Amino acid sequence: MTSPLARSTSDTARLMVGAPGFAVGWQEPVYPPNPAAGAQWAHKADGRFLTRLLAVTFTLVTSAVVANRFPAVNLTDSNGKLVTSAPAGGTVVASSTLNVFLTTGAPAYAFGAAGGTFGFLPDILVPPDYSWSSVVSGMDAGDQLSAVVLLVQRFPNDAAMITAGG
């Protein structure tokens, strides 16, 4: 099937953020491996798709070492530059367990320090090679991140834009 080429960027309709009614794409969970103690988890967007992160959950268990930890979820571009960051909890102290639940459209940032914390995740459609990751400031070598689940929507690159106008 052939179609006329777009004359300008104004002639191209692009799939943007917000829940599409019907689109070529799908939703699925992604399970990054649990990182080693003291390390962070990360997930790079697949090169074949544009990806929208709808929700993320993970558990932070802190060691008995006295320190304050500050968890967040970061989005970095393909050059490793920080695009945005969302808090994934408040001040987490030693010997605590924090269960993080972040979602798009949540009404507030997550600031819980133990137990469950619920909060906002930026609604951004990311191109290939962008990465979502945890960052826990003040993390001790004995702290553990685990049970990471990312709920994503994926759209094939060739379905993310169509010719608009004529």
Residue 2 confidence (pLDDT) above 60:
no
Residue 49: both structure tokens together: 């798709």
The values of phi and psi at residue 6, to 5°, are -70, 140
Query: What pLDDT was estimated at residue 145?
Result: 98
Q: What is the pLDDT of residues 32-64, one digit of tens each?
A: 999 999 999 999 998 888 999 999 999 999 999
CATH 2.60.120 fits domain 26-155:
yes
CB 84, CB 75: distance < 8 Å:
yes
Name the 3-class secondary structure at 123. Answer: coil
For residues 74 and 116, what is the distance between their CA atoms, to the nearest angstrom? 20
Distance CA 120, CA 47 (A): 26
pLDDT mean over 99-111: 94
For the cut 70, the answer to whether the pLDDT of residue 31 exceeds it is yes
How big is the chain, counted in residues? 166
pLDDT at 47: 86
Where does the pLDDT of residue 1 fall: very low under 50, low under 70, confident under 90, or very high at 90 and above?
very low
12-28 residue pLDDT tens:
666 655 555 666 778 89
Predicted pLDDT of residue 42: 97
Q: Is 15 exposed, middle or buried (0-12, 13-18, 19+ CB in 10 A)?
A: middle
C-alpha of 4 from chain center? 36
- Tens of pLDDT, residue by residue over 114-157, are 999 999 999 999 999 999 999 999 999 999 999 999 999 988 87
Q: Which residue has the higher pLDDT, 135 or 1?
A: 135
